[in-house]
Structure 1
Amino acid sequence: MKSIPAVQLEKYMHRRIIKNKIARGIFFLSVLFCLSVLAMLLGRIFTQGIHWINFDFLSGKLSTLPERAGIFGAILGTVWLMLVVIPVTMIIGISSAIYLQLYAKKGRMQGFIQTNIANLAGVPSIVYGILGLTVFVRALDLGSVVLAGGLTMALLILPIVIVASQEAILAVNDDISSASYGIGASKWQTIRHIIIPAALPGILTGAILSLSRAIGETAPLIVIGIPAFLIPFPGSIMDKFTVLPMQIYYWTLDATLVSEYANLAAATIIVLLFCLLFLNVSAVFIRNKFQQK
């Protein structure tokens, strides 16, 4: 092998250092630009909406008069939606991940299923809305109720939960499960008492972050026909409902006619951001708590 002359090597290293500095500068400016746009957006939202948030706004019903409008129905609809999404997603998602990772035989079929689940995680949300409209609203004749919306949202985030749960299970040290088998534990006992507790922080973190996506989605609910203006509060999973993102969407459209609706939309965005922030902080807290344990 020929040795590179010291002068040539020095020039090569000098060019690499310059390229590295240029790339670092481009990345820094890109991040700075994104943060600047985000700061301006948040500043505009808080400036417009913070003065509209009060007890009457949070506990009131929707109204055609902007100064009397409230979002309690949308908050209640969001809660009811999550009461459907959470158990369906957690039970089916975690069970599917356990089967695919620990029980399914490795082969073409298992690889085919894995590939399709990964691909489904990147499908646009409006496609799931069309699926929910076809299956739940029309074929099962549920209508635009909480159950139909919850099942549609569960389909949306189910692939993400499965993939996150598989990665969490895969990250568990094999020595721990081998030690469990060595003392005579069965496969299910090892999964239940060793693997699942060890993988639980990653599973819960992925599930909570997926739920935060479901709370902020609008397109699937528009497709299945969730109403924009709904006075009665939902009281069960078979009632019609609306949610915070839907209210933001329609108030933003109405803002072209009445400027006060822009303030209502901004105030609702602030409430939704705090809900998402709470979920993300909960995910971090749960992960750290279980890791310490």
Structure 2
Amino acid sequence: MDVKRLRLLREFADRGSVGTVADAMHMTPSAVSQQLKVLAKEAGVELLEQDGRRIRLTDAGRALVLRADDVIAAVERAQEEMEGYRSGRTTVRLAMFPSGAALLLPGVLDRTDGSGIDVHASELDVGYPDAAPALADHDIVVTHRDERTAPVRLPRVEVTELMREPVDVVVAVDSAFAARDEVEVGELADCDWISVEGGFPVDDVLLSISAVTGVAPRVTQRMLDFATIESIVAADHGIALIPRFAVRHPGVKPLTLKGVRAARVYEALNRPAPRKAVAAVVGDLMVSAERALGR
């Protein structure tokens, strides 16, 4: 079987349609379809089947995708080794959510400097269910989830837990709560909340607060940038939940939340049997996380 066609099949498994595969691979949809038909002839079984207006993988197709992962990983390791002989350098594509990148990426870049590994980092801020599909475009995706959310369990995804970061309540420094270091969850039932978009770990903690108090938190604003949220809180327009290491604004005071476990878990996702450089960067992320917790 041709490796290029196996790669197209894997792209289809990752992206879900011939059109999106064609866009990603800079091909026409008809060319993608033709190559997948050729691969089915090479395999001797149908790999795709009609599902209403869509096309999906057959059981044989899903089984072949798992083997394609093995084949492509082996080819990539061989290519990496040969590239190392030619230039002494290799590239790792790393995607991270913004506050995680601020905390961990500088240390990763410090440790890969001079190692022959070029880390091409980019920001990717998506809900936890959308993190694994991003491996279609990245070697490693660093994501986060509420600690009560089960980790992803997929045969084509390897998960490395990096750290657990507590989530604190932040209040304005001149608020009634600011003289304290902790607050009971039941005391916050009548507060206005500044939160993130639904589906992110911090908002999941708000759902837990609702379950404990029996009162739905009154969310008045939703923002994705923690710096913006802190500014709103500092101006005394509400309170917020912010991961402990992301608190920066001098006008807010973090308080430990009592009565409900509140934390987000950092994870690094990658394909099984990764290249040596990918495994090395995952190791560097683990070291950065350990140092962040140690500080």
The bucket for the TM-score relative to the shorter chain is under 0.3
> Quick check: which one's helix share is greater?
1
Larger Rg: 1
Structure with the bigger RCO (C-alpha within 8 Å, sep 6+) is: 1
TM (normalized to structure 2)?
0.23
TM (normalized to structure 1)?
0.24
